[in-house]
Homo-oligomer: A and B are copies of this chain.
Amino acid sequence: MNRAVSIAALMAGALCLIAAPSSAVARTSAPASAETDAGPVLVSPADWRAMAETGARYPMFAAEQARVERLVRAAMAHGVDVPVPADPGGGRTHEQHKRNYQALYGAGTLYRLTGERAYADFARDMLLEYARLYPTLGDHPAGRGQTPGRLFWQSLNDSVWLVYGSQGYDAIRDTLNPEDRRTIDEQVFRRMARFLSEETPQTFERIHNHATWAVAGVGMTGYVLRDRDLVEKALTGLSKNGEAGFIRQIDLLFSPDGYYSEGPYYQRYALAPFIIFARAIEQNEPERGIFRHRDGVLLKAVDTLIQASYGGYFIPINDAILDKGLDTEELVTGVAVAYARTGDPRLLSIAEAQGRTLLSPDGLKVAEGLAAGAARPFEFRPVLISDGPDGENGALAILRANGPDGQALVLKATGQGMGHGHFDKLNWLFYDNGQRVVTDYGAARFLNIEAKSGGVYLPENTSWAKQTVAHNTLVVNEQSHFGGDWRVGEEHAPEPLLFDIAEGTQIVSARMTSAYDGVVFTRTQALLEHPDLNRPVVVDLLRVEGDRPARYDLPLHFNGHIMTVGWEAQRGVAARPVLGEANGYQHLWVDASSQPSAETRSLAWLLDGRFYTYRFGASAASRAILVESGANDPDFNLRREPALIQRLDGQSDATFFSVLEPHGRYDGTAETVTGSESRIRDIRRLRGDDAEVIVLTLTSGRILALGVADSAEADRTHSVTADGQTYQWTGGYARFDRERPA
């Protein structure tokens, strides 16, 4: 069938559908006749028509259509293939059922866009196979955890199938004869929806991303089947009292700033069902104003997720795979839906970087906007993003300078983030030059790779990746925060104290009180620019107040090749001991260690042509230990990455202070090296009665100092005197710039 004919056929079909308002049926629980109720409801016939008529004009839309055509044609060439479920994630049947929902979604879409009946017929044939198979299925043979699925090993994947499958079905449902329609309605979709709701309430009623996928699949199926009951349960829980369900999930899982409690990696994952289902709700029940709910928190969540990225990748706090970024399917969806509602041209530049958009009315708007040259750069800016439903469960702070590939400092002062949360209160990360400089390991997992425990979280995710020592924050007595119990962690969040962004000086401070019994620690971090410095430097001040002497370890996981070890180090050149016994320490080889010393030390490394000099000291004599991950890893599950641990023994109160300085350039192609020498001569810490001052003496002779009060209160005055110099200020912090000292 050629294109002109197919569009004409589609329009004829669409005309007869317009008589039945697409949202009318969803509002009544009485089933209407199949003939009037079969048309698409997740996308309106008019919108389908607009896409079919104009999509080809816009390169991004046309390219996406071509991409989906390739995918669906490959599936059609392969033939309908609905295997009896057998394999875990990554296995043959798992991947085939994934391909099936993608093909189903694509085929339905292409049928609407081209009018080619073959697409609809393929979707029908596949669904009829599912109708034969699905009723025969019990729990998946490789079923895992609390909620095995039927098609997949975990019900989560079944939910995802339903979210996409229901959309594909919606698009072709009016092409079916009544018998096929009834068969597929009942044997596939209603059964799946029943399985994922009332038959697995332990998932459906949770406040968790797995539940969001479930309610989205069930609710969308409700719209497609004109089943008001399913929709209502999806929105307000099985008891329809609002204590569970989609609305409650929105209320509890997002902060007012649109931060999702599990962190960016899962925010990305959860965003898809939130956004897709909300879009379906808006289409069918616009009066709910779902995108205005809580001051538009779902749209804010899209913006916030983009802010929580660097170099195109999400900041990998908590369980996170490092290669996930702005180009993921979920954010393609989020950007399209958000842009269609806000018209924010900055989102277009993200869509442009993604290189694709949805074959949906929202995707059409994105493609139109890009074709019209409306894109504007997304503004990555310093932000303090609140966590918790009321915004009072800690926060994620991001300091930024010099644009998207410039410096970004992340202070993780968020809540625990449930079971995927790591034990890393007041952890920090640093990015520069497009690279991860101070790092977070992320998750120990090879997603969907069967050879690695079937692609699930590896044992080392618990024994290493979640542990405090795998992060850049305080470890007391080689124990992890909250004793490594995330449920305890859920009860305690850091308290943000300070967040101030000024020209050349950005600062954030937060305090953690219950990670360890009897220990309070306060971290203040600043990004400081200075004309004598090549680039902004990070000043880090971590103050610990403990009720008894303890071992305090402060790790720094850095990325790069060591250039100089600026202290007397005992090298493990022919034997490397393991650092400790448990809580992640068993995974660290000791490369070098030192005797205790009160002197400040430095470590310099090279990463992607830039030098980094890290200078560090403490309030009492400390050791410096260079380590590498990879010990006690029998299955080679861990990446091997270096870290520096500063260790302070026998103190109750203590302060760690450091400066990280990016500088210079190594250009391998041109064989030139510039600025390989640090521009900081030394750093010192001065202690006053109720405040500290970190003093940087630059090689130029100038002094750059940062005063930080123990209390962040705005109206208190502080004074620190040492060596005849007095630093005096009012408020939580002050910066001092001085010429050469007398």
Contacts and interface: CB of A to CB of B under 8 A. Distances in A.
B447 A327 contact: no
Contacts of A574: 578, 631-632
Nearest to A564: B451
Contacts of A673: 90, 95, 448-450, 455
14 contacts: A95-B674, A325-B669, A446-B666, A447-B668, A450-B673, A451-B563, A451-B564, A451-B604, A452-B563, A562-B636, A565-B636, A571-B634, A575-B576, A591-B636
Contact of A327 (B452, B634, B669): B669
A573 B589 CA distance: 10
A187 to B, nearest CB: 28
A591 B98 CA distance: 37
Report, as a range, how many residues of chain A touch the other chain.
35 or more
A146 interface: no
A606 B449 contact: yes
Interface of A: 90, 95, 98, 321, 323-325, 327-329, 446-452, 455, 561-565, 571, 573-578, 589, 591, 604, 606, 628, 631-636, 639-640, 666, 668-674, 676-677
Contacts of A324: 668-669
Given A95-B673, A98-B672, A561 B639 contact: yes
Given A561-B639, A575-B575, A672 B448 contact: yes
B323 A668 contact: yes
Contacts of A631: 573-574
Contacts of A571: 634
Given A95-B674, A449-B563, A640-B640, 10 more contacts: A447-B671, A449-B606, A450-B676, A451-B563, A451-B564, A451-B604, A455-B673, A565-B636, A571-B634, A575-B576
A102 to B, nearest CB: 9
Contacts of A640: 628, 640
Contacts of A589: 576
Contacts of A636: 561-562, 565, 591
Given A634-B573, A636-B561, A669 B323 contact: yes
A321 B667 CA distance: 12
A25 to B, nearest CB: 35
Contacts of A95: 672-674
A670 B633 contact: no
Nearest to A604: B451
Contacts of A450: 673, 676-677
Given A452-B563, A562-B636, A606 B446 contact: yes
A677 B573 CA distance: 38
A455 B633 CA distance: 35
A671 B571 CA distance: 41
Q: Most chain-B Cβ atoms within 10 A of its Cβ — which of A451, A575, A604? A: A451
A77 to B, nearest CB: 16
A292 to B, nearest CB: 31
A450 to B, nearest CB: 6
Contacts of A606: 446, 449
Contacts of A327: 669
Contacts of A577: 575
List 5 tightest A-B contacts by C-beta distance, closest first: A323-B668, A562-B636, A451-B563, A448-B673, A573-B632
A449 B676 contact: yes
A674 to B, nearest CB: 7
A564 B453 CA distance: 11
Contacts of A321: 668
A562 B562 CA distance: 24
Contacts of A90: 673, 676
A329 B564 CA distance: 30
Contacts of A635: 565
A677 to B, nearest CB: 8
B451 A676 contact: yes
A436 to B, nearest CB: 15
A321 B449 CA distance: 34
A633 B573 CA distance: 6
A178 B450 CA distance: 79
Contacts of A677: 450
A325 B671 CA distance: 12
A602 to B, nearest CB: 11
A447 B670 CA distance: 11
A301 to B, nearest CB: 20
A560 to B, nearest CB: 11
Q: Most chain-B Cβ atoms within 10 A of its Cβ — which of A321, A631, A639? A: A631
A520 B275 CA distance: 68
A448 B575 contact: no
A128 B90 CA distance: 71
Contacts of A563: 446, 449, 451-452
Contacts of A639: 561
Contacts of A628: 640
A606 B329 CA distance: 23
A282 B270 CA distance: 68
A269 to B, nearest CB: 9
Contacts of A448: 666, 671-673
A40 to B, nearest CB: 26
Contacts of A451: 563-564, 604, 676
A578 B323 CA distance: 34
